[in-house]
C-alpha cells in the first residue's frame, strides 16, 4: 500500500500521468475509497483470486487501457505493451528495445522476412 500512496502523491504533483499497482485483493475497498475521495480516474482488474492490478491517472490514459479490452498483461499485443510502458513513464529507449524484441518473437514477424 505504501507504493500506492506514493504513486497518488506523484500523480497529484504531476510527475505521473498513469500508475499501475499490483495489490492484494483485500485492499480493493480501501483503494477504491481513496481514489474516489481524491477524484482520480481508475480501473481495477482482478488477477486470480488474491491480487488486483490498479491503474489510475489521467482519464485519457484509463480510456486507452480500457480500449485494450484485456485483463492480463500477458495478453497485450507488442503495440499495447509499448503504449502502456510509455504511459507509465518507462524509459523510451528501453520500451523501443522491448517492442522490437517482442516483434521478433511474434508469428507475424516471420511473414515479413
Per-residue confidence (pLDDT) for residue 30, from 0 to 100: 97
Geometric angle at alpha carbon 22, from 25 and 98, rounded to 5°: 150
Percent share of the chain, pLDDT over 70? 92
Compute the distance between CA of residue 72 and CA of residue 80 in angstroms, rounded to an integer.
12
pLDDT single digits (tens) 17-34: 999 999 999 999 999 999
The pLDDT of residue 44 is above 60: yes
CATH 3.30.1360.40 assigned to domain 1-67? The reply is no
Nearest one of 49, 59, 6 to 28, comparing CA atoms: 49
Sequence ranges of the domains in the chain: 1-67, 76-108
| Helices H / strands E in the chain, number of each | 6, 3
Reply yes or no on whether the pLDDT at 104 is more than 90: no
Amino acid at each position: 500500500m505504501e507504493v500506492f500512496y506514493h504513486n497518488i502523491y506523484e500523480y497529484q504533483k504531476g510527475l505521473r500521468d498513469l500508475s499501475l499497482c499490483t495489490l492484494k485483493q483485500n485492499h480493493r475497498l480501501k483503494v477504491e475509497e481513496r481514489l474516489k475521495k481524491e477524484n482520480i480516474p481508475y480501473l481495477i482488474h482482478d488477477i486470480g483470486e488474491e491480487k488486483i492490478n490498479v491503474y489510475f491517472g489521467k482519464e485519457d490514459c484509463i480510456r486507452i487501457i480500457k480500449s485494450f479490452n484485456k485483463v492480463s498483461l500477458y495478453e497485450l499485443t507488442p503495440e499495447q505493451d509499448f503504449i502502456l510502458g510509455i504511459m507509465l513513464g518507462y524509459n523510451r529507449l528501453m520500451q523501443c528495445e522491448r517492442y522490437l524484441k517482442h516483434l521478433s518473437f511474434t508469428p507475424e514477424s516471420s511473414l515479413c522476412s
